[in-house]
Structure 1
């Protein structure tokens, strides 16, 4: 089935996308497919389709391509074609899988019909015609009567040891219509006598002072043996007990929500709008080797959550002003970030709109994680923070920084001319945004990716370098 979806990607998707748009899609998939700059330049449509099939199995790979093409104006109409092709495959697979199930249901139904005996489905005519069937019917009615007696013995409120409230008495059961009988009493009258007998038995036993009722039973409505009780009145909705006062329920105050320790995550396309307040934003920077693609990072929050945002349109920088409330629509949740592409996806709200965000939530959103905590995080987690550079090592195209805090040390690997050309030395403070946590040997390491951002604060000179 997975091969059918890969065909959609290749034949209905990539085949109709020009090189410019295809390169854009590869760039957007770089993090998901772990593509470095060289792989983005060299991988063709078939290789990308193979990677998507593995990373997003089944229809998810087509969904991923639909999300991407919808954000690119030149090819956004292709999303409808991809969606229709995906539905065709889903329908075909559903039809293939439904036949055996339906067959098993039919076999089970026919087996049940052939083995049933003396059931109500035979109808009243069949019962009257055959003496044998009439005998079975009599036994069936007798067993029903015995079952009813057993159930009555378990009714709440009719046993001294029962702690069930009368508010949970069953509703009036559906009883079969009475058949002509030489006896003067009907089934409902028999049931009434049984019920009254139970009630009298309770009254007799509870008259003994040695028998003590439980607190729940002491609140049951009083029953007098002298009163005339009918089964119809017995099965009506019982009198509700007076509500019990509870100090825990009456005085309990609503519990305050705790401050989240991590940025909240959302997955897939989100229509929105989501109203948020901007906490901080980086400067725009160029993130591809051609120098034509720009973006910036931001941190935003609601009253109860905070989010990391990637903004791929630098014209939106004027919207992401700290303490400003904005609305974000038509964005994509991916890898712990909210990704915004279109300038129309961010809009202003009423200037009088204020958001009451606690200081503790703002502090948590801006906080730098402890290095000891990073060693416990799962690989693939993206990290933001400000760290002190303890050592610097240069190897060909790579730079290794050893960062340190009061809980431990960790290695940071920086790759690519954009990031390695930044002047950062031992003793400086290094601001890292969108660095991926990875395993290297038996230790953890922070690695730069295509969307990573670095800001260096020169502690000695008190100057700042950005990228």
Structure 2
């Protein structure tokens, strides 16, 4: 039975998704299946299905794939197909287990078959507790009982509870009596009352829409009931035009979660140069970028460095098949970024561009949630080298914070007290009871050396890439 569930995963699941979607699923399964980066690159659909069968036994194999695809927008409908296929396998298995029992029951002759004719002539009361061969007789008796009940409720026809259904007359002996004049008058009055109520509601609704009449009036049309006068509204209040409220410009980068089909048309605001970062099996390259629409801005991780030629400031591009995670849009394939029509224009406010390039105040970082990733340019106040790590103390006019940098790629960058330190993709973490900005494998650093001339007031935006 386990092979059947693996076959569902392989044929109904993996064969209906693209190579890129399969690579995303392998990434999501890496922890459960203990996949190294090399295994993720080399293992095909059959090998992954084999591993899933071993790790997730029986229906759990299909359930795991359902949990993965339901969060990927493009293939979330596949979850329904997988559920149906899983139920089919379970039903077939139960049917096979129940088949011998059903056959044994069918081979036993019914002792009541010979008495079916006798029971049919006895009436409903006599066959109440007698097994019946088929459903037809039971339905006939039920219909007769229902007829008995309905006829007992007809006016002018009295049927006792002990009377047999077969003895009932086919038509009632007496016609229902005509309603008395008093009941007829009562019905007419009820109808008239309902009509008046309806008129009152209609008039009330119309009056509520007219200036100078009471919206709560309940007087019917043509009545002498006085209507309270409402002063007509002044032209300034009735014809004033409200100005549209301006859309707030976001101060933080927008977030998206999970696989996104797109395309999303954006303008490139800035991009770092590509850099090499270390992974378990070797080294890889990437670069960071900031892009914006007319109402939002986003931080982007680009893992295909050939795309650097498309991330040119002020250029409009379309991003498709990307993945949202930890506040970044992650782009893996060269085909995910394309040019748009040269005539395409995008009006982005200066305020939004300023917010996208702005450095957060240190006091603001103390109010942010741990795990938030931070970009900005800060003044180095102190430096401490400790084994393979470097501790920087950064400050602005709102406070002081510690920055932890580790790894040869980042620690060998020359930065001293008084320099400007540009940090990209640094995680807000906790060191004991103190907050700090901590580097990760995708972090990027750029240093602007202090001028030997007289110190000028620090403007972080002047050090951001354009």
Alignment pair present for 1:408 and 2:399: yes
Gaps of 5+ in 1: 34-38, 70-78, 96-119, 134-177, 203-212, 226-241
> The residue matched to 2:354 in structure 1 has which SS?
helix
Selected match of 1:353 from 332, 337, 344: 344
1:292-348 per-residue CA deviation (whole Å, 9 max, x = no partner) reads 310000000001000000000000000000001000001001111100011011011
1:426 aligns with: 417
1:275 aligns with: 265
Alignment pair present for 1:443 and 2:442: no
> The residue matched to 1:450 in structure 2 has which SS?
coil
2:248 aligns with: 258
Alignment pair present for 1:293 and 2:291: no
Q: CA deviation at 1:83?
A: 6.9
Q: CA deviation at 1:254?
A: 2.0
Gaps of 5+ in 2: 15-19, 44-50, 92-145, 162-175, 202-211, 225-231, 454-462
Q: Quick one: distance in 2 between partners of 1:268 and 1:59?
A: 20
1:57-68, aligned counterparts within 5 Å?
62=65
Alignment pair present for 1:127 and 2:118: no
Q: CA deviation at 1:181?
A: 1.2
1:333-366 per-residue CA deviation (whole Å, 9 max, x = no partner) reads 1111100011011011111211111110010011
Q: Quick one: distance in 2 between partners of 1:131 and 1:27?
A: 75
TM normalised by structure 1 equals 0.58
Is contact 2:151–2:159 with CA below 8 Å preserved after alignment? Answer: no
Is contact 1:387–1:429 with CA below 8 Å preserved after alignment? Answer: yes
Task: From the superposition, tell whether residues 252 and 283 of structure 1 become closer, same or farther in structure 2 (CA, over 3 Å).
Answer: same
1:381 aligns with: 372
1:41-440, aligned counterparts within 5 Å?
62=65, 87=83, 124-128=150-154, 180-183=178-181, 185=184, 189-195=188-194, 215-217=214-216, 222-224=221-223, 247=237, 251-289=241-279, 292-440=283-431
Q: Quick one: distance in 2 between partners of 1:126 and 1:244?
A: 69
Q: CA deviation at 1:255?
A: 1.5
Task: From the superposition, tell whether residues 429 and 121 of structure 1 become closer, same or farther in structure 2 (CA, over 3 Å).
Answer: farther
Task: From the superposition, tell whether residues 198 and 323 of structure 1 become closer, same or farther in structure 2 (CA, over 3 Å).
Answer: closer
Q: How many correspondences in the alignment?
A: 334
Q: CA deviation at 1:288?
A: 1.6
Q: Quick one: distance in 2 between partners of 1:425 and 1:29?
A: 41
Task: From the superposition, tell whether residues 193 and 88 of structure 1 become closer, same or farther in structure 2 (CA, over 3 Å).
Answer: closer
Is contact 1:67–1:269 with CA below 8 Å preserved after alignment? Answer: no
> The residue matched to 1:365 in structure 2 has which SS?
helix
